[in-house]
């Protein structure tokens, strides 16, 4: 009796981040979908999202899309992608890194003037 073994054929996927607003990877033969994994330590990816059969997340030229999509705090984030099909998951792709800067606040405008009811005025200045 012959047995037919189905093997998940996954070519080495290349994942990359384009201008901090788009995560892209190449297709893998036999894959029916992809899962994105991310975390702040290489090799430890506590977060994941099944993205289905797409090859990118985000839109080039739209700043902050990945930060908002993955709800990332400031710091350096590592991303890998795994292809999957009914047989199982592939190994991790290469690692793509994304650095999220601390939120930059617009410069404070001084002096700030607060008017309190009646005739009291409080003026705040920057040291």
Q: For the segment 68-119, what is each residue's pLDDT rounded down to a tens digit?
A: 899 999 999 999 999 999 999 999 999 999 998 876 454 555 555 555 566 6
Which is the CATH superfamily of the domain at 15-124? Immunoglobulins (2.60.40.10)
pLDDT (0 to 100) of residue 118: 60
Q: Own/partner pairs for 46-49, CB < 8 Å, 24+ apart?
A: none
Whether 100 and 72 have beta carbons less than 8 Å apart is answered as yes
Least confident of 8-12, 16-20, 39-43, 47-51: 8-12
Q: Between these two residues, 127 and 53, which has the higher pLDDT value?
A: 53
Cis status, amide bond into 111, omega within 30 of 0: yes
pLDDT (0 to 100) of residue 3: 41
């Amino acid at each position: 009796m012959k047995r037919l073994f189905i093997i998940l054929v996954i070519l080495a996927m290349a994942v990359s981040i384009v201008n901090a607003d788009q995560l892209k990877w190449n297709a893998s033969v036999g894959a029916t979908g992809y899962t994105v994994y991310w975390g702040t330590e290489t090799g430890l990816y506590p977060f994941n999202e099944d993205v289905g059969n797409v090859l990118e997340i985000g839109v080039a030229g739209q700043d902050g899309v990945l930060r908002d999509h993955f709800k990332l705090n400031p710091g350096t984030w590592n991303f890998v992608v795994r292809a999957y099909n009914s047989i199982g998951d592939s190994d991790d792709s290469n690692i793509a890194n994304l650095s999220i800067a601390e939120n930059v606040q617009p410069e404070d405008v001084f002096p700030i003037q607060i008017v309190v009811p009646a005739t009291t005025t409080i003026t705040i200045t920057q040291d």
